[in-house]
Structure 1
Amino acid sequence: MPVIRSMTAFATAQGTADATTWVWDIRSVNGRGLDVKVRLPDGFSTLEGEVRRKISAVCARGNITVGLRLNRAASDGVPEMDQDRLDIILGALDQIQDRAFEKGVTLGQPTAADVLAQRGVLVTRPTDDTDALIEPLTTDFDAALSAFIDMRTAEGATLHDLLTGQLNEIETLTAQAAEAAKTRTTAQKSQIDAALARIADQTLVEPDRIAQELALIAVKSDITEEIDRLGAHVAAARDLIATGGVVGRKLDFLAQEFNREANTLCSKAQDKTLTQIGLALKAVIDQMREQVQNTE
C-alpha cells in the first residue's frame, strides 16, 4: 500500500568489536531537498560515500545528519614514542638551559621520566585494524537506517490521518460556504429591491443602467468559482495522499492554492456568516500547511 512519509525522524544503533564500541545516530528535519551531513571519526572517511549512497537510495527530501561516535578502551593499544614531538621537547629544553646559563641561573638536568611525562611524547597507537571495523560498522548503520525509515513511515501514517481529517473539514466548510452564499443571494436581492424602490421614488434611473449595476454587483460577489476550485483541490490532495511516495512539494503547492481561494472567498463574502466560514477555512488550511511542511 502506498504511503506518505514524514521528513522528521531519529534512530540509533550500537555495536562492539573487541575493545571498540560505537554508536550510530541518524536524525532529520524537513527541507526543500535532500541535504545529508556525515560526521565520522578520523580514519573512517571511506565510509562516508557508502553512507550517502544508502541514504540517497531511500530518502528523497530532508536535512539529514549522520554521526558515528567511536570509543576505544584506554588499555587498547601499544605505547610508542612520537619522535617528532620528542625532538621538539628536547630542543625546547636545550633553549631553556642556554637561556638560564646566560642569566647565571643553574638548572638541574631533566630525567628521561621528566621528558616522557610531557604531553604527546609517549602515545598509544590502537592495535585494532580500522579496515576490520568497516564491515560491522556498515551492518549497524544499515540497522540504524532501517529504524530511521520505519520512524519516518510511522510518522507519515500520523500525517496521513491528520491531513485526511483536515481535508474532510475543508470539504465540509466549502459545502457550508455554498449554502451560505445561496442564503446571502436571497438577502441581497431583497436589499437591492428595497434600495431600487427608494431610488425610483426620488429620481429617474434608466432600466439598462440598473441592470448593468446589478450585474456588476452579482459578478463581484459571486463565489461559485472559488467553491468549485476548493472542491477540485480537495479531490487532488486526496489523490496525492492515496498515491503516496514523495508528494510533499505537490501538497505544499495545493495548500497555497487552498489559501488563495479562501482569501478570495473572504474578500467577496459581504456577509457575516460567509466571512466566518472563510476565516474557519483559512485556519484549517494553515494547520494543513504546517503538516505538509513535514511531508517528504
Structure 2
Amino acid sequence: MNLQSMTGFARSAAACDGTAVAWEIKSVNGKSAEVRLRLPPGYERLEAGVRQAIQKRFVRGNFQANLTISRLAGTQAQPVVNEAFLKDLAGLAKRLQDQFGVGPATSDGLLALRGVLETPETVETEDARAALDTVVLAALEEALSSLEQARRAEGEALSKLLSGHLDVVEVLTSRVEADPSREPAAIRTRLADQVRLLLDAGIGVDEGRLAMEAALLATKADIREEIDRLKTHVASGRALLAGGGAIGRKLDFLAQEFNRESNTLCSKSNAAAVTSIGLELKAVVDQFREQVQNLE
C-alpha cells in the first residue's frame, strides 16, 4: 500500500444537457478527514453524498471542495420583455413628465429597470435532475481520483526523503557506537584523571567515597541503551515505510522517540565527539518529524 501526502489539488469537468459541471478540490494537513463544501444554491441535496465520497477515499486531511454549475454557451435562455410591466412604467414616466417637467423616459433606461427583462427558467424535471446529479457525482469521483494520484505522488517523494533521514540516523548511531570515548573503560579513565587532579591539588576528599561516586557516574554516562533503542527505532521506521498506508501518526510518535533518545544521548555525553554527533542527530530528527507532518 502506497503512502499519501495530505496535500494535493485536482480539477474535473463534465456536461449534461447544456449544463457545465466543474469541481475543484484541495487538501492540506489535518488531524482527521475534515470536509468543507461550497455548493451552488439548490444543490444542498448532494452534500451528504459528497462528504461520504471524500471520507471513503481518504483517512486524514482538510478538504475544500467547490462545485460550479453553469449553462454552456449557446444554451442560455433568451431574455423576454415583460410588456405589461413596461407599459405601466412608460405610463408612469409620461405622468411624471407632464406633472413635473422631468425628461422623457428612454428605452435603455426602462430596459435597465429590474423586472422589465426576464430570463425564463428552464423547467427541471425529476429525471433531468437525477441525470444531472449522476453527472455531478461522477465528476466528483474523477476529481477525487486525480487528487488521490497527486497525494500518492507526493507521498512517494516523502517516503524517499524519510528513508534518507533514517539512513542518516543509522550512520550517526554507528558513529556514536564506534567512538572509543563512549566505552565504560574510557569514561572511568577520564573520571579517574579528574579525581587524581583533585587529590594532587590537596583537596580533602574521601578517596573511597570518591571512587564510588566515579563508578556511579560512569554507569550513568553509559549510552549503550540509547544506541540500541535508536537502532530499533530505525528498523521500525523502515518497516512502517515499507508497509505503507496511513502511517503518519505512527511515524510522528516514532519521531518523538528519536528526539527523546538524541536528547538523552547529548545529556549523558561527556565527550565532545559524541556531543557533536548527538547534535547532528537532533537536526536530522527535526527534519524527519517536519516531513512526517505531511503524511496521511
Shorter-chain TM-score range: 0.7 to 0.9
The residue aligned with 2:154 is 155
Contact 1:60 1:246 in 2 (8 A): yes
Summarize the alignment of residues 158-197 of structure 1 with structure 2, pairs less than 5 Å apart. 158-180=157-179, 182-183=181-182, 185-197=184-196
SS at match of 2:119: strand
The residue aligned with 2:233 is 233
Structure 1 CA distance for aligned equivalents of residues 119 and 239 of structure 2: 61
Q: Which amino acid aligns with 1:29?
A: V
Structure 2 CA distance for aligned equivalents of residues 172 and 113 of structure 1: 80
Summarize the alignment of residues 211-222 of structure 1 with structure 2, pairs less than 5 Å apart. 211-222=211-222
The residue aligned with 1:26 is 25
Structure 1 CA distance for aligned equivalents of residues 234 and 207 of structure 2: 42
What is the CA distance between 1:222 and its match in structure 2? 2.1
Structure 1 CA distance for aligned equivalents of residues 183 and 92 of structure 2: 99
Q: 1:264 to 1:94 in 2, by over 3 A?
A: farther
Q: 1:213 to 1:145 in 2, by over 3 A?
A: same
Contact 2:251 2:292 in 1 (8 A): yes
TM-score, with normalisation over the residues of structure 1? 0.83
SS at match of 2:137: helix
SS at match of 1:231: helix
Structure 1 CA distance for aligned equivalents of residues 292 and 254 of structure 2: 10
Structure 1 CA distance for aligned equivalents of residues 252 and 123 of structure 2: 50
Structure 1 CA distance for aligned equivalents of residues 144 and 191 of structure 2: 67
Q: Which amino acid aligns with 2:212?
A: Q
Q: 1:125 to 1:272 in 2, by over 3 A?
A: farther
1:122 correspondence with 2:117: yes
Q: Which amino acid aligns with 1:228?
A: D
Gaps of 5+ in 1: none
Structure 2 CA distance for aligned equivalents of residues 82 and 28 of structure 1: 47
Contact 1:76 1:127 in 2 (8 A): no
The residue aligned with 1:279 is 279
The residue aligned with 2:255 is 255
1:107 correspondence with 2:106: no
What is the CA distance between 1:94 and its match in structure 2? 6.9
Deviations 1:10-65 (A, max 9, x none): 11111223433232111111111111111111222222211111111111100111
Q: 1:194 to 1:121 in 2, by over 3 A?
A: same
Structure 2 CA distance for aligned equivalents of residues 133 and 64 of structure 1: 23
The residue aligned with 2:2 is 3
What is the CA distance between 1:80 and its match in structure 2? 5.9
User: Aligned residues: percent identity?
Assistant: 42
Structure 2 CA distance for aligned equivalents of residues 11 and 254 of structure 1: 31
What is the CA distance between 1:116 and its match in structure 2? 3.6
Contact 2:40 2:69 in 1 (8 A): yes
Structure 2 CA distance for aligned equivalents of residues 123 and 248 of structure 1: 55
What is the CA distance between 1:111 and its match in structure 2? 7.2
Equivalenced residues, count: 287
Structure 2 CA distance for aligned equivalents of residues 21 and 137 of structure 1: 9
Summarize the alignment of residues 131-146 of structure 1 with structure 2, pairs less than 5 Å apart. 131=129, 132-146=131-145
TM-score, with normalisation over the residues of structure 2? 0.83
What is the CA distance between 1:79 and its match in structure 2? 3.3
Structure 2 CA distance for aligned equivalents of residues 82 and 213 of structure 1: 102
The residue aligned with 2:34 is 35
Select between 18-27 and 176-185 the one with higher mean Cα deviation. Answer: 176-185
Gaps of 5+ in 2: none
What is the CA distance between 1:279 and its match in structure 2? 1.1
Structure 1 CA distance for aligned equivalents of residues 62 and 135 of structure 2: 26
SS at match of 1:277: helix
Contact 1:181 1:223 in 2 (8 A): no
Structure 1 CA distance for aligned equivalents of residues 44 and 194 of structure 2: 81
Structure 2 CA distance for aligned equivalents of residues 66 and 231 of structure 1: 43
Contact 2:28 2:61 in 1 (8 A): yes
Select between 241-250 and 183-192 the one with higher mean Cα deviation. Answer: 183-192
What is the CA distance between 1:66 and its match in structure 2? 0.8
Q: Which amino acid aligns with 1:255?
A: A
Q: Which amino acid aligns with 2:250?
A: K
